């Protein structure tokens, strides 16, 4: 293991604390009686409240001035300045709790608990006057130090912000510690799902759970992750959607079911795509897609109000207003609106021609539905900023949706588009088992044409439909995408605690035992580290005479006076792998 100077110093501090009889990782509970947020909100100098306060948290900054110090403590709710005076926390002769423990052995990042009373400093900052201090956890890795200052114009300025996305995502815990606004984003995300859950529960719908491991994947057009069950000796897939299972439950007699589900799609990653993502799907019996549009409007308006207290949400440059009613377009109207071309009567050949004319890349695997979808996705979707319903999709691209009651070429489907992206997808569910079988078979044809996202035929699902599924409206909302909009985040990674990343490259360093096994005296290991010998292979490749010289030189440079130099024979034995006699 390779440690920076600061990490070594912190490890030494941990040892020192133990020697002083202070457990750096105590097991007893430490009971707090308030939070930093409460103190800052409710402290009133005139009332003289908060006289007997206990809080705990991380030390986030320290300003030591001889026998008195200021520090900031960060708990789950925020930060509070604390003031410590040597003679107050060390009333007796022994001043080591302040002089040694606080000043020397504690660092930024350590958890402490403090008792005291709240007061205002001369500069007017609400602070805690500490009368006793308890070490709760010693931190061994230094945190990035982010500082804030307010200039004369009252503008907040952040210094040395921890901004590198790679580090922020890989070490989200650090991100959460030093970037308080990150916490807010995730709190909002949970509020969002809570708000939806509350809305749906109030309507009497049942939250359910359905399988993630599925023998057949279905319900969407996507490539799956494949896995394997040993005992069953069979391939299983991680679900790409939960539609088909939820509809089975409608067959089974539930009137309304919904599930917040992690789905998995084996596709590329981008700022809008993570291999695992969250959707809510909702199915309600005896309803249709028009009814479902009303529900979506109402539910998302409520979400915006619950999160922001208003229907207006700032997203990048735009202010998006979720106030009902939303604009509605049929897909053909939308395309005509944005391109001036009426494609409603076109066949596949004409559509391909139109797509080419609009400079949209096409290929032979694309059927009629796909072509229309491409035109829409290219020319319309990005222009739809305010929440807009797009209705009545071509039948080819919606194999699970019911045929339109008036236009047989279309299905009863809508998507809500917002900020140029789809945020939900819904339809009157297809419940004619014969038609459903035909649609699956058409999908198989597309599959043969080379569309590797075409759906597979699910016999059990068809069997369920044959028992009869009532007319049903179904809905799916991408929770991550919606969270991005509701928290003004520009990438999906910002609304996922732990976005998928390539694994960190790991260099396997030799352990101390490996060196000892190779015949190296333990006290010489740091010298080898310093010389860049980090693995036994590396050691074996060194030239013994040069290594001997280097080790002796480095020992001197590191001022390891008490460490004896190795002999040349000793060094040779390391390199050759023979223990010295």
Partner RNA sequence: GACUUGGUAGCUCAGCUGGUAGAGCAACGCCCUUUUAAGGCGUGGGUCCUGGGUUCGAGCCCCAGCCAAGUCACCA
248-287 residues near RNA, rule: CB under 7 A: 265, 267-268, 270-275, 277
- Closer of 221 and 473 to RNA (Cβ): 221
User: Per rule CB under 7 A, is residue 375 in the interface with RNA?
Assistant: no
Instruction: Identify which range of 16-24, 103-111, 211-219, 510-518 contacts RNA by CB under 7 A.
Output: 103-111
Q: Are strands 327-330 and 276-285 parallel, antiparallel or unpaired?
A: unpaired
User: Per rule CB under 7 A, is residue 67 in the interface with RNA?
Assistant: yes
Residue in this structure with the two tokens 């010289």, named with its chain if needed: 549
Per-position x/- string for 312-351, each x denoting binding to RNA as judged by CB under 7 A, each - no binding: ----------------------------------------
d(CA 59, CA 442): 63
Per-position x/- string for 488-517, each x denoting binding to RNA as judged by CB under 7 A, each - no binding: --xxxx-----x-xx--x-x----------
391-430 residues in contact with RNA (CB under 7 A) are 421-423, 425
- Closer of 13 and 22 to RNA (Cβ): 13
Distances from the Cα of 323 to the Cα of 44, 312, 413, 418, 443, angstroms: 40, 8, 22, 13, 38
- Closer of 71 and 285 to RNA (Cβ): 71
d(CA 222, CA 275): 11
**Tokens matching residue 159:** 């210094």
The answer to whether residues 8 and 22 touch, using CB atoms and an 8 Å cutoff, is no
The correct pick among 306, 333, 378, 442 for binding RNA (CB under 7 A) is: 378
Task: Work out how close the CB of 429 gets to RNA at its nearest, in angstroms, rounded to a whole number.
Answer: 16
Task: Work out how close the CB of 165 gets to RNA at its nearest, in angstroms, rounded to a whole number.
Answer: 4
The correct pick among 81, 214, 261, 443 for binding RNA (CB under 7 A) is: 81
The answer to whether residues 277 and 227 touch, using CB atoms and an 8 Å cutoff, is no
Task: For residue 442, report the phi and psi dihedrals to the nearest 5 degrees.
Answer: -65, -35
The correct pick among 15, 52, 87, 356 for binding RNA (CB under 7 A) is: 87
177-236 residues in contact with RNA (CB under 7 A) are 220-222
Q: By C-alpha distance, which of 103, 113, 104 is closest to 135?
A: 113
3-22 residues in contact with RNA (CB under 7 A) are 4-6, 9, 13
Task: Work out how close the CB of 366 gets to RNA at its nearest, in angstroms, rounded to a whole number.
Answer: 9
Task: Work out how close the CB of 452 gets to RNA at its nearest, in angstroms, rounded to a whole number.
Answer: 9
Instruction: Identify which range of 23-31, 344-352, 372-380, 512-520 contacts RNA by CB under 7 A.
Output: 372-380
d(CA 541, CA 532): 12
The answer to whether residues 393 and 353 touch, using CB atoms and an 8 Å cutoff, is no
- Closer of 353 and 377 to RNA (Cβ): 377
The length of the chain is 581
**Tokens matching residue 473:** 């409206």
Task: Work out how close the CB of 403 gets to RNA at its nearest, in angstroms, rounded to a whole number.
Answer: 20
Contacting residues for 298 by C-beta, under 8 A, at least 6 apart: 199, 324
Task: Work out how close the CB of 533 gets to RNA at its nearest, in angstroms, rounded to a whole number.
Answer: 10
285-304 residues in contact with RNA (CB under 7 A) are none
Task: For residue 171, report the phi and psi dihedrals to the nearest 5 degrees.
Answer: -115, 65
The correct pick among 166, 459, 466, 576 for binding RNA (CB under 7 A) is: 166
**Tokens matching residue 425:** 């997808």
Instruction: Identify which range of 82-90, 207-215, 246-254, 570-578 contacts RNA by CB under 7 A.
Output: 82-90
The correct pick among 37, 77, 85, 333 for binding RNA (CB under 7 A) is: 85
The DSSP bridge partners found for residue 345 are none
The correct pick among 18, 20, 161, 434 for binding RNA (CB under 7 A) is: 161
Instruction: Identify which range of 157-165, 190-198, 290-298, 319-327 contacts RNA by CB under 7 A.
Output: 157-165
Task: Work out how close the CB of 135 gets to RNA at its nearest, in angstroms, rounded to a whole number.
Answer: 15
The answer to whether residues 218 and 212 touch, using CB atoms and an 8 Å cutoff, is no
Would you call 510 helix, strand, or coil by DSSP?
coil
Q: How many CB atoms lie within 10 A of CB 210?
A: 17
- Closer of 79 and 183 to RNA (Cβ): 79
The torsion defined by the Cα of 512, 517, 522 and 525, in degrees rounded to 10, comes to -60
Task: Work out how close the CB of 470 gets to RNA at its nearest, in angstroms, rounded to a whole number.
Answer: 25
User: Per rule CB under 7 A, is residue 124 in the interface with RNA?
Assistant: yes
**Tokens matching residue 129:** 């006057």
Contacting residues for 108 by C-beta, under 8 A, at least 6 apart: 58, 59, 60, 61, 62, 142, 143, 145
- Closer of 478 and 573 to RNA (Cβ): 478
**Opening angle at CA 133, ends 130 and 138, nearest 5:** 135
The DSSP bridge partners found for residue 411 are 393, 403
Residue in this structure with the two tokens 């599930």, named with its chain if needed: 259
The correct pick among 32, 34, 54, 68 for binding RNA (CB under 7 A) is: 68
**Opening angle at CA 403, ends 402 and 409, nearest 5:** 145
Task: Work out how close the CB of 50 gets to RNA at its nearest, in angstroms, rounded to a whole number.
Answer: 15
Contacting residues for 570 by C-beta, under 8 A, at least 6 apart: 519, 580
Number of residues engaging RNA in binding (CB under 7 A): 85
d(CA 547, CA 368): 72
Task: Work out how close the CB of 434 gets to RNA at its nearest, in angstroms, rounded to a whole number.
Answer: 25
453-482 residues in contact with RNA (CB under 7 A) are 453, 478, 480-481
The correct pick among 50, 102, 169, 414 for binding RNA (CB under 7 A) is: 169
- Closer of 500 and 572 to RNA (Cβ): 500
Residue in this structure with the two tokens 């291999």, named with its chain if needed: 275
**Tokens matching residue 572:** 């040779």
514-553 residues in contact with RNA (CB under 7 A) are 532, 534
Distances from the Cα of 449 to the Cα of 308, 369, 435, angstroms: 48, 14, 21
- Closer of 98 and 573 to RNA (Cβ): 98
- Closer of 148 and 460 to RNA (Cβ): 148
- Closer of 275 and 471 to RNA (Cβ): 275
Instruction: Identify which range of 19-27, 163-171, 346-354, 442-450 contacts RNA by CB under 7 A.
Output: 163-171
């Amino acid at each position: 293991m390779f440690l920076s100077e600061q990490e070594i110093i912190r490890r030494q501090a941990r040892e020192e604390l133990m020697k002083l009889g202070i457990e750096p990782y105590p097991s007893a509970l430490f009971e707090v009686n308030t939070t930093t947020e409460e103190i800052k909100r409710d402290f009133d100098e005139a009332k003289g409240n908060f006289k007997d306060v206990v809080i705990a948290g991380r030390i986030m900054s320290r300003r030591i001035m001889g026998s008195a110090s200021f520090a900031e403590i960060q708990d789950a709710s925020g930060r509070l300045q604390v003031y410590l005076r040597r003679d107050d926390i060390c009333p007796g002769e022994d001043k080591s709790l302040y002089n040694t423990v606080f000043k020397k052995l504690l660092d930024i990042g350590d958890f402490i608990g403090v008792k005291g009373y709240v007061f205002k400093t001369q500069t007017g900052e609400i602070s805690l006057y500490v009368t006793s201090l308890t070490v709760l956890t010693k931190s061994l890795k230094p945190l990035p130090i982010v500082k804030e200052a307010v200039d004369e114009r009252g503008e907040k300025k952040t210094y040395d912000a921890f901004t590198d996305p790679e580090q922020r995502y890989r070490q989200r815990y650090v991100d959460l510690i030093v970037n308080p606004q990150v916490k807010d984003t995730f709190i909002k995300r949970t509020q969002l799902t809570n708000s939806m859950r509350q809305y749906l529960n109030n309507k009497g719908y049942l939250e359910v759970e359905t399988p993630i491991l599925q023998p057949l994947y279905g319900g969407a057009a996507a490539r799956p992750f494949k896995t394997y069950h040993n005992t069953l000796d069979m391939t299983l897939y991680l679900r790409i959607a939960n539609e088909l299972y939820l509809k089975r439950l409608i067959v089974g007699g539930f009137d309304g079911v919904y599930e917040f589900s992690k789905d998995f799609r084996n596709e590329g990653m981008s700022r809008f795509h993570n291999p695992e993502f969250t959707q809510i799907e909702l199915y309600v019996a005896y309803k249709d897609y028009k009814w479902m549009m009303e529900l979506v409007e109402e539910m998302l308006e409520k979400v915006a109000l619950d999160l922001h207290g208003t229907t207006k949400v700032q997203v990048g440059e735009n202010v998006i207003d979720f106030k009902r009613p939303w604009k509605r377009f049929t897909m053909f109207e939308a395309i005509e609106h944005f391109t001036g071309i009426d494609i409603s009567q076109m066949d596949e050949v004409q559509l391909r021609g139109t797509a080419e004319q609009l400079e949209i890349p096409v290929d032979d695997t694309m059927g009629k539905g796909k072509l229309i979808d491409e035109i829409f996705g290219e020319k319309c979707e990005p222009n739809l900023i305010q929440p807009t319903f797009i209705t009545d999709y071509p039948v080819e691209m919606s194999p699970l949706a019911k045929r339109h009651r008036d236009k047989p070429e279309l299905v009863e489907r809508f998507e809500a588009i917002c900020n140029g992206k789809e945020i939900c997808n819904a339809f009157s569910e297809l419940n004619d088992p014969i038609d459903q079988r035909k649609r699956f078979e058409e999908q198989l044809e597309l599959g043969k044409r080379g569309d590797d996202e075409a759906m597979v035929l699910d016999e059990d699902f068809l069997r369920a439909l044959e028992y009869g599924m009532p007319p049903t409206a179904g809905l799916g909302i991408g929770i991550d995408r919606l969270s991005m909009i509701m928290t003004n985040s520009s990438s999906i990674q910002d609304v996922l605690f732990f976005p998928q990343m390539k694994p960190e490259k790991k260099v396997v360093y030799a352990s101390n035992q490996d060196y000892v096994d190779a015949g190296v005296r333990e006290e010489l290991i740091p010298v080898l580290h310093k010389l860049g010998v980090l693995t036994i292979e590396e050691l074996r490749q060194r030239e013994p005479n040069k290594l001997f010289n280097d080790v002796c030189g480095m020992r001197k440079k590191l001022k390891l006076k008490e460490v004896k130099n190795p002999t040349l024979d000793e060094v040779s034995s390391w390199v050759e792998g023979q223990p010295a006699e």
